Amino acid sequence: MTENNFWLKKIEISVSEAEKRTGRNAMNMQETYTAYLIETRSVEHTDGQSVLTDSLWRRYSEFELLRNYLLVYYPHIVVPPLPEKRAEFVWHKLSADNMDPDFVERRRIGLENFLLRVASHPILCRDKIFYLFLTQEGNWKETVNETGFQLKADSRLKALNATFRVKNPDKRFTELKHYSDELQSVISHLLRVRARVADRLYGVYKVHGNYGRVFSEWSAIEKEMGDGLQSAGHHMDVYASSIDDILEDEEHYADQLKEYLFYAEALRAVCRKHELMQYDLEMAAQDLASKKQQCEELATGTVRTFSLKGMTTKLFGQETPEQREARIKVLEEQISEGEQQLKSKNLEGREFVKNAWADIERFKEQKNHDLKEALISYAVMQISMCKKGIQVWTNAKECFSKM
């Protein structure tokens, strides 16, 4: 797609609201869905002029349509993933309902992050369909479908066939595919461990509420110790209730990990496309070699390998010289076309590898930076949580000391 002048300016993009709606789907059936308000605002403007803000509503399915389009038109790019459609790796107190307000809020943040990822990408940000996604509410789906991207999408069966039948896979892409599988496995395990820890932590914190109840009851029967016990019980109650906010904050760090869980599939998509291109190249080379062999056999009158044509010749007699010359001419034309196609596929393959690897290197830098920041922030949050626990018991100790 050509560069749009709009993207030469700096803009701010946000998904500012989520709204529950009811309507009819393509089957004319009633359905409930969530719509998200996208706002865009130009940062650079002439002095004295007001800054115009564009806004429109989009469904999650429209975000999906945008990403599917980007996957087809930019197969060499690690296209940013969307946030999960339904909650995964949840601990037992967290709702898995995709209409749950907390989940919708986290998904709103994830959708905003997706748009910011695309907008900051040096190639994707200039795409016309992406620009229209942000600015054209009506007929946007029709505009996407008019690109015919669905017809260009590779079939899953063809991709699976290429995976098992390609003879000379690129070692770099094979290793990248294995890495993406391992990255997905590691992050999945990490999220499961975090969910189990959250379950147990929730129980530990909430059971401290029993301290609060017991100290409060005890204070009622004591005169000298009553005030101290009552104050200590209050600190225990505050400690017990603090876990809800702590685990809600943790979910945002979990969502950052989930983004790279889904990025693993985006890496595999690039690898699959390369496998398909390599498979097509090998099939074209094989077909060309076969035609050259047929042409040589016709020219020399010798058959090197068993063929149906050879059996037919033995049964029904030799071709006339004119027939053989006509076939040779057709084969020579096919060979010429095949050589051009093979040359074109080789150039296309080299260009794909060059562009894909450049984007993969860009992605690696982004991944290393993001995951480092996320893990550090998570560790800082755990340290802060422990310090608050120490403070609660320090306050309780002071209460006991004053009795």
Give the CATH fold of the 154-300+325-402 domain.
Answer: Substrate Binding Domain Of Dnak; Chain:A; Domain 2 (1.20.1270)
Residue positions counted in the chain:
403
Which residues fall within 8 angstroms of residue 291, CB to CB, at 6 or more apart?
331, 334, 335, 338
**pLDDT score, position 5:** 41
Q: In the structure encoding, which two tokens stand for residue 276, read together? A: 């398909």
Higher pLDDT, residue 311 or 102: 102
CA angle in degrees (0–180, nearest 5) for 349-354-358: 145
The conformation of residue 52, written as its DSSP 8-state character, comes to P
Q: How confident is the model at residue 87, as a pLDDT?
A: 72
Q: Which residue did the predictor score with more confidence, 352 or 97?
A: 352
pLDDT confidence bin for 156, thresholds 50/70/90: low
CA distance linking residue 191 with residue 262, whole number of Å: 13
Beta strand pairing call for 53-59 and 11-24: unpaired
What is the C-alpha separation between 323 and 338, in angstroms, rounded? Answer: 22
Task: Kindly tell me the burial class for residue 73, based on how many C-beta atoms sit within 10 Å of its own C-beta (0-12, 13-18, 19 or more).
Answer: middle
- Among the residue ranges 293-297, 341-345, 388-392, the one predicted with the least confidence is 293-297
- As a whole number, the mean pLDDT across the chain is 86
Give the global pTM.
0.84
In the predicted model, is pLDDT for residue 52 greater than 70?
Answer: no
Spatial distance between the Cα atoms of 80 and 112, rounded to a whole number of angstroms: 12
Backbone angles phi, psi at 9, to 5 degrees: -95, 155
pLDDT in tens, 240-254: 999 988 888 888 888
Q: Which of 174-178, 330-334, 366-370 has the lowest mean pLDDT?
A: 330-334
- H or E segment and range at residue 25: none
Region 187-212 average pLDDT = 91
Q: What is the per-residue pLDDT for 3?
A: 46
Between 298 and 140, the higher pLDDT residue: 140
In sequence order, the 6+-apart residues with CB closer than 8 A to the CB of 73 are 1, 127, 147, 149, 152
pLDDT range class, residue 159, cuts 50, 70, 90: low
